[in-house]
Structure 1
Amino acid sequence: MTSEMPADLLAHARAAKGFMPEDEGAFLHRLARERLPHGPALEIGTYCGKSAIYLGAAARAVGGTVLTVDHHRGSEENQAGWEHHDASLVDDELGLMDTLPVFRRTLALAGLEEHVTAVVGRSTSVATWWRTPLSLVFIDGGHAEVHAQNDYSGFAHWIMPGGTLVIHDVFERPEDGGQAPFHVWQRAVDSGSFEPRDTVGSMRALARTGGSAGDPVG
């Protein structure tokens, strides 16, 4: 059985709004296929659903559940005046970003609504009641230091032993990109609870090496 993205869903991933290069998406898809048979996967940072298609494609292929958390008001870099602002995603009446309708349409067109469940809210709020062990956590939310660290603090300890932590936009050099995701990666490695695995582009994967889901990871 091939582990590659199926052509129909790859076309939807390419068409979806978002910033994930195709090789990183294929890497995320492969990691999800490995882990989803063992338990649900959680994405932090939905935006318009490009990465959710790669995750959902894995769920369609091997079974399992993908959940994706986002408040859908856009990260700091998505706001007006910032580099990644898209005016078409602003609610005219409210004057606020609203990526949820675009995400829902993206998911419906890809036929993945039964495989990917949206959780609408801030990750810090969701983390307060989260109790489900996870086979994979993908951190790709706000890239400010406080938000990236909160995403790790809120959900990394719910990864089951042998499970996978994936962090996007990891740049070691400040001139290549923001440092918060790199600091989260360093924190995970320094904790002793995670061991680095593969890297593709700016995406890095780590494996949880011990403890039980829910135990502190540092």
Structure 2
Amino acid sequence: MPLYLYAVTDADHPLPVEGATGIGASPAPLRAVRAARVAAVVSEAPAQLRAKRRDLIAHQEVLLMLGAAGAVIPLRFGTLAPDDGAVRRALADQESLFTDRLREVEDRVEFNVKALQDEDTAVREVLRDSPEARRLSALTRDGSGTHDDQVALGTVVAAGVQALQAEHARDIAHRLEPLAHRTAAGDPTGEVFLNLSLLIERGRADAFAASVDQVAQSLGHGLELRVTGPLPPYSFV
């Protein structure tokens, strides 16, 4: 019977899986497959595995439950194994690696911080600080500029916004990174110009959230921080 895998834990993790279920339209019970020093939390795999919101949430809820009870290595959604024997072999083959990773994230949680800036605000800042952008903008407004001037204005403004947001990102990261055990930078997407994951001591989670709030309040108009956490340590295993 194919198995769906949620996480790897220490063999002596409390594993509060009794009565708990996993993903799928008819969720199967959770159980543990153990090796000498580590264990994997699994359930029977659903017949059709798709990244539906229901199952993504169920997957994360299992990880949060396990993480609240001890160190956990979260596995990606959709991780499968053919049977218990395959899981045990994988655990045995990678036991040292798994135990090292578990010690790294023990009593630690992940927070993700995303920084966004309103586009109009960013453009106004560039026009305020760049004489060349102001000159080209004036030519565009009064109709005396050429098509090349319009293209140049777009290029200057885009470069200015990128440089401005890179400066903001460095400042925010500089203020938050000393609070973390480790950090991992994700790719910016769309209006998000900073995507930073931080590994935080569990006992300092509330203090970290308060520090992020202080940083957010100190930012200028049009800048926003969005914080998600505490989470399982997805970015650090």
Both proteins in one fold, TM over 0.5: no
TM-score range, shorter-chain basis? Answer: under 0.3
TM-score, normalization by structure 1: 0.22
Greater C-alpha radius of gyration: 2
Q: Which protein has the bigger helix share? A: 2
